[in-house]
Amino acid sequence: METTVAKVNAVTIPRWFDRHLHVRDVDMLRNVLPCTLNQRAIGAVIMGNLKHPDETSTIEKAKGYRWRIRAMLGILQTFGVTTNKDFEPRMTCYLTDEITPEEVVRGFKEGVWCGVKLYMADQRGLGGTTNSGHGVKNLLGRYPVFEAMEREGIPLLGHFEAVEPEVDEFDREIVSVERDLDPLLNSFPGLPVVFEHITDGRAAAFVAEVKHNIQATVTAHHLMINRNEMFRNGMNPVHFCKPVPKREMYRLKVREYVTSGHRRFGAGTDSAPHDESAKMRCYGCAAGIFTAPTAVELYTTVFDEDGALEHLGPFLSENFLGLYGVKVSKETMTIERKPLAVPQKIGNVQVFRGGTELPWTLVG
Ligand code: DOR
Ligand code: ZN
């Protein structure tokens, strides 16, 4: 006898938490922060690679940035732009070659930051992504910091990509797994590590299988597009981000871990707004995909396509939240099978899948 599975038309899960978000500063902050608030997030890990990228590289600077975000939250609430009253920005320390282990630990203990963001730069100060040139040039030189973090249980949030220009763009992640991450985990077996925006199926297999305490964030766009989407019918800067989307078989591998409900993978949008003018540069187009306005609907679409809606809740709203000092929300949100028109732009920022329809809508 044929079995029929009833089509699920609504999903109710705890309110979610974005484990990796760029909200920028000042005007851009005012423009994009409401998107994540209106997606009912209880909070987000705020990445601080701002225009002056070392702006979150000391306790004082990170506090200043948090103050500006909180002030903006207050303004948006006062003017009724959002009804989200309890959004909590969780700050990160932008790791440089200079900060001392003592300051990293103090910032964590004082509740200024919940983890340390690792970007790597080459010897000339060239980073692999937006505003990462002040990142770490000498990884071994930072081992005393990692030792202190291991001792105190401070999470390392790592952008693992080789930055040297001679490394093939599509292999940068896996090269960094073998060269940087594996030795790091072996030297600091107790260090909690989050592999940020994982894209390569080989890296995902490493995360899923290694014995160490490691998890990975996954963006909605990396679950949805492969590298062809950057070139379909011509160059599409809107689909250019770092790490670059990978070949189809690697995208599918990552997606398989995610939608099969593997607990080491959790939602981190890496929603990264850039003005259209920066995305349209012929040389040096800015890396970043802006998914914040419909992040929940995008992830829901992916899980639905894979017949895995039962794993959506843990992925968005539960997996390894404790690592950031965040509790699973007691409040819920509901996503319904109902078409949603994705806006083309928010201000001057092109939205991922703008102008199309998604099959799901977050209704409250
Ligand atoms: O595509 C990206 N954009 N990847 C990153 O790592 C940084 C981000 C940004 O800040 O624009
Ligand atoms: Zn990022």
**Confidence category of residue 7, pLDDT binned at 50, 70, 90:** confident
Q: What is the bridge-based pairing of β-strands 10-14 and 332-341?
A: antiparallel
pLDDT at 362 over 70: yes
pLDDT at 204 over 90: yes
Two structure tokens written together for 114: 């919940």
Pseudo-torsion of CA 47, 53, 57, 61, nearest 10°? -90
Three-state secondary structure of 135-150: CECCCHHHHHHHHHHH
| 281 Cα to the center of ligand 1, angstroms | 16
Mean pLDDT of the chain: 95
What number is the average pLDDT over the span 275-300? Answer: 97
Task: Return the minimum-mean-pLDDT range out of 55-64, 182-191, 215-224.
Answer: 55-64
Q: Which ligand is nearest to the CA of 127?
A: 1
Q: What is the pLDDT of residue 83?
A: 87
Sole residue written with tokens 């038309």: 9
pLDDT at 41 over 70: yes
What number is the average pLDDT over the span 48-72? Answer: 87
H/E element holding 349?
A: strand 349-350
8 Å CB contact between 319 and 264: yes
pLDDT at 8 over 70: yes
H/E element holding 297?
A: helix 295-305
8 Å CB contact between 357 and 339: yes
pLDDT at 129 over 70: yes
What class is the 14-327+342-355 domain?
A: alpha beta
pLDDT at 53 over 70: no
Q: Indicate whether this model's pTM tops 0.85.
A: yes
Which of 242, 246, 279, 285 is the pocket-test mutation for ligand 1 (most atoms within 8 Å of CB)?
242
What number is the average pLDDT over the span 189-217? Answer: 97
What is the separation of C-alpha 129 from the centre of its chain, rounded to a whole number of angstroms? 13
Residue of 89 and 52 predicted with greater confidence: 89
Catalytic residues: 270
Q: Is 336 left (phi over 0), alpha (psi -120 to 50) or beta?
A: beta
pLDDT at 335 over 70: yes
Residue 276's Cβ-count burial label (10 Å; 0-12, 13-18, 19+) is middle
- The domain ranges of the chain are 14-327+342-355
Two structure tokens written together for 271: 């929603």
Q: What is the pLDDT of residue 22?
A: 97
Q: What is the pLDDT of residue 48?
A: 86
What is d(CA 89, CA 82) in angstroms, rounded to the nearest whole number?
A: 15
**Confidence category of residue 338, pLDDT binned at 50, 70, 90:** very high
Q: Tell me which amino acid residue 45 is.
A: V
Q: Tell me which amino acid residue 356 is.
A: T
Q: Tell me which amino acid residue 88 is.
A: E
Two structure tokens written together for 44: 């987000």
The share of the chain scoring above pLDDT 90, in percent, equals 89
Condensed to tens digits (0 to 9), the pLDDT of residues 340-352 reads 999 999 999 999 9
8 Å CB contact between 161 and 122: no
**Is residue 271 within 6 Å of ligand 1 at its C-beta?**
no
What number is the average pLDDT over the span 198-222? Answer: 97
3-state secondary structure of 284: coil
Q: Which ligand is nearest to the CA of 159?
A: 1
Closest Cα partner for 290 from 364, 233, 220, 236?
220
Q: What is the pLDDT of residue 126?
A: 77
The share of the chain scoring above pLDDT 70, in percent, equals 98
Condensed to tens digits (0 to 9), the pLDDT of residues 296-315 reads 999 999 999 999 999 999 99
What is d(CA 359, CA 357) in angstroms, rounded to the nearest whole number?
A: 7
| 173 Cα to the center of ligand 1, angstroms | 14
Condensed to tens digits (0 to 9), the pLDDT of residues 99-112 reads 999 999 999 999 99
**Is residue 239 within 6 Å of ligand 1 at its C-beta?**
no
What is d(CA 255, CA 258) in angstroms, rounded to the nearest whole number?
A: 5
What number is the average pLDDT over the span 223-229? Answer: 98
Q: Which of 21-25, 47-51, 137-141 has the highest mean pLDDT?
A: 21-25
| 49 Cα to the center of ligand 2, angstroms | 8
CB-based neighbours (< 5 A) of ligand 2, an ion: 47, 270
Q: What is the bridge-based pairing of β-strands 345-346 and 349-350?
A: antiparallel
8 Å CB contact between 216 and 204: yes
8 Å CB contact between 58 and 98: no
pLDDT at 122 over 90: no
Cα–Cα separations (whole angstroms), residue 3 to 104, 148, 292, 333? 56, 55, 38, 30
pLDDT at 134 over 90: no
Closest Cα partner for 172 from 238, 128, 228, 215?
128
Query: Residue with the nearest Cα to atom 7 of ligand 1?
Result: 130
Report whether the peptide linkage leading into residue 89 is cis, meaning its omega lies within 30 degrees of zero: no
Q: What is the pLDDT of residue 123?
A: 80
**Confidence category of residue 3, pLDDT binned at 50, 70, 90:** low
